[in-house]
Amino acid sequence: MNNKKTVIILGGTGFVGRAVTEKYLKHNWRVIIPTRSNIDRAKYNFLLHGFSKNVLEGYIANNIILFAPNVDLSNPKWTRVNSWTQLLIHIDISNDPVSRIINLVGETSKSAVEILKSNVDALESVFTLVKCIKSKNNNVLFINMGSVAEKKSDKYLSPYEYSKKIARQKIEKSNLCDFYFVAHYIKGKGEQKVKLAASKLWRKLKYSRKWLFGFKVSVIDVDDLAEIIYHIIEINKIIPRGHKPIELNVTNGELIFGEMIKRLLSKDKRNIPKQIIPRWLENSFLYLYSIIIPIVNPNDQFARRLASYAKRGLSHSKKQIEGGIFKTTEEIKNLALDTDNYDVLGISPNLIVAIKHSPEIYVLRERNKVELERLIEM
């Protein structure tokens, strides 16, 4: 046991959590997973997201993976140092001190209240844990998973977008975070949220010249994301730059949004409509849709996301889309050539490009269009 390093993964049984947990386990780390459910439910979630049952039972039997049940991070109990101290004593990690804390918690699909509790209220408990661990080990790194949603500045933000924006502000103010990963559209086994949106979008907004909308969407496979997180932290060993976290924007590449939506539909529903409305009329419809829906359904997370997609489809927002939310494959490659302003920290398997005067990094694990389309259809 002395040869193992220990990582605490908050949200470790979730969709992204399964992949990150599996990556650390395969590299001989001991993994501790606090969970608000009981152990049986935690194991069920692992299996739901694609973990092998026999492998999981083997890790548990050998104390390589440990569940800490009934840890609800939104409960004020976990904002007290004593609660975490007692838990860590009970787990007994004296021989394997914690050297990584990874926060992957973040509800996206429940009520506005649950989304806020999971993304914002729980942070105080996370901060208490980080302070508790860092007081014992100065070399501990705290890694957080963010979202492109926090970068939106629209007047009408969905509950998820609003909660992510507030969470980012709290994390930066805490001065505790070392690495902050921003993944845009995460694909992989078990991912269903955008599939739900696809059929509804196709029905409501199907008469676009460019198969719904023409803007590009960044795509990242969940297992590639886990590999990038591990590679950046444990292989490249990029050094934190003080109190402000290093933001890492990660992607496999990008697809036209409409093409992606088509591939999420069953093949019998992918027919291109015969009627194509003029672009000016489409813009008028998208504009009205993006303005009216947030007013009519202010608490409907799903409807608000569709309105956000509609707004991004407007031709006059092309500059905004291209300019800031994410960088395309070619843009990241071009940054690597600008040696005056950017440093190349890695080439293979990840192209890693860092801004010289800002704690911001772009990571590309490139897949060609065929591979990306195949990911969408998984």
Whole-number Cα distances in Å, 118 to 20, 52, 123, 167:
19, 27, 8, 10
Question: In sequence order, which residues have a C-beta less than 8 Å from that of residue 125 and are 6 or more positions away?
Answer: 73, 74, 75, 78, 79
3-state secondary structure of 275: coil
Q: What is the pLDDT of residue 1?
A: 43
Q: What is the pLDDT of residue 305?
A: 76
Q: What is the pLDDT of residue 323?
A: 45
Question: Would you state the structure tokens that stand for residue 356, as one six-digit string?
Answer: 């010289």
Torsion angle (degrees, nearest 10) of CA 332, 337, 339, 343: 40
Cis before 245 (ω within 30): no
Beta-strand relationship, 360-364 and 351-355: antiparallel
3-state secondary structure of 272: coil
* Strand ordering across the sheet containing 65-68: 65-68, 29-34, 5-10, 98-103, 141-147, 179-183, 246-251, 360-364, 351-355, 342-346
Q: What is the pLDDT of residue 162?
A: 86
Long-range contact pairs involving 236-241 (C-beta distance under 8 Å, separation at least 24): 236/345, 236/346, 236/352, 238/179, 238/345, 238/361, 240/141, 240/178, 240/179, 241/359
Residue pair 25/65 in contact (Cβ under 8 Å)? The answer is: yes
The CB-side HSE value for 59 (13 A sphere, CA atoms) comes to 24
Domain ranges within the chain, ordered by starting residue:
5-190+218-253
Helix count and strand count (H, E) for the chain? 15, 13
Length of the chain: 378
Q: What is the pLDDT of residue 178?
A: 95
| Residue pLDDT, tens place only, 169-178 | 999 999 999 9
Q: In CATH terms, is domain 5-190+218-253 a member of 3.40.50.720?
A: yes
Residue pair 378/188 in contact (Cβ under 8 Å)? The answer is: yes
In 10 A of CB 46, how many CB atoms? 25
What's the whole-model pTM score? 0.89
Question: Would you state the structure tokens that stand for residue 256, as one six-digit string?
Answer: 């036209």
Distance from chain centroid for Cα 108? 11
Q: Which residues of the chain have pLDDT under 50?
A: 1, 319-323
Alpha-helical (H) ranges within 12-80 are 15-26, 39-48, 53-61
